[in-house]
Amino acid sequence: MKKVTSWDKLGLAFALIMLGLIFVLGQPQGLPDLTNYSFASEPVRVAEFEITEVEESQKPRRLLIPDLTIDLEVDQAPIVNGYWQVFVDKAGWGEGSGFPGAVGNQVIFAHAREGLFLPLKDVTIGQKVYILTEAAWYEYRVEEINEVYPNQTQVIAPTTDERLTLYTCSGFADTKRLIVVAKPALKI
């Protein structure tokens, strides 16, 4: 076994200092500038969604993920100046997104905080997600789990199939978004 000398320690310290300077002073090419993105300070930016009338009985009112002990009130999040309103104490269902039991991308989002979507970081493929409306309840199963940058908004775009997209913060200093896609559970 080689003995570690003071020169080895000095070399390692110099390399770490240089790496730190490169990280702090240099921005790698090709990566998006994320310094101004924060779910806490900026609501969800939405493209031009077609707003259609949805009956009150069709709107999601509650979201349950029993395996993660998530049980949240869901309220309609209107588009205000091109952004979905984000609530501090409940989940938001994005106005213009799909709704339970119909073709479309139903988008529900909340902060990654205790009592909201913080447990979502532990979600796994196959877990059940329930959406309750005034008229019925709908069962979905998690099929995809992804992490994206805030400007990768294709994950909330309208779809030609029925799906539920759960959206929250992730990554260091909330620089990324955790995207959980669930599809209707097959009835047997």
Q: Tell me, yes or no, whether 21 lies in a domain.
A: no
Q: Tell me, yes or no, whether 2 lies in a domain.
A: no
Residue 93, burial from CB neighbour count under 10 angstroms (0-12, 13-18, 19+): buried
Q: Tell me, yes or no, whether 54 lies in a domain.
A: yes
What's the number of domains the chain is made of? 1
Is 7 a residue whose pLDDT tops 80?
A: no
Q: Tell me, yes or no, whether 8 lies in a domain.
A: no
- Locus of tokens 């921005």: 27
Q: Tell me, yes or no, whether 34 lies in a domain.
A: no
pLDDT single digits (tens) 127-173: 999 999 999 999 999 999 999 988 888 899 999 999 999 999 987 77
Q: Tell me, yes or no, whether 3 lies in a domain.
A: no
pLDDT single digits (tens) 87-120: 999 999 999 999 999 999 999 999 999 999 999 9
Say what the pLDDT of residue 43 is: 58
Taking a C-beta distance cutoff of 8 angstroms, is the pair 71, 62 a contact?
yes
Domain region containing 155: 44-184
Say what the pLDDT of residue 25 is: 64
Q: Tell me, yes or no, whether 73 lies in a domain.
A: yes
Q: Name the strands in the sheet holding 79-80, side by side, starting at the edge strand that comes first in the sequence.
A: 44-45, 83-84, 79-80
Is 69 a residue whose pLDDT tops 90?
A: yes
pLDDT single digits (tens) 16-46: 776 666 666 665 545 544 444 444 455 566 7
Taking a C-beta distance cutoff of 8 angstroms, is the pair 105, 156 a contact?
yes
- The whole-angstrom separation of Cα 127 and Cα 69 is 12
Is 186 a residue whose pLDDT tops 80?
A: no
Confidence category of residue 63, pLDDT binned at 50, 70, 90: very high
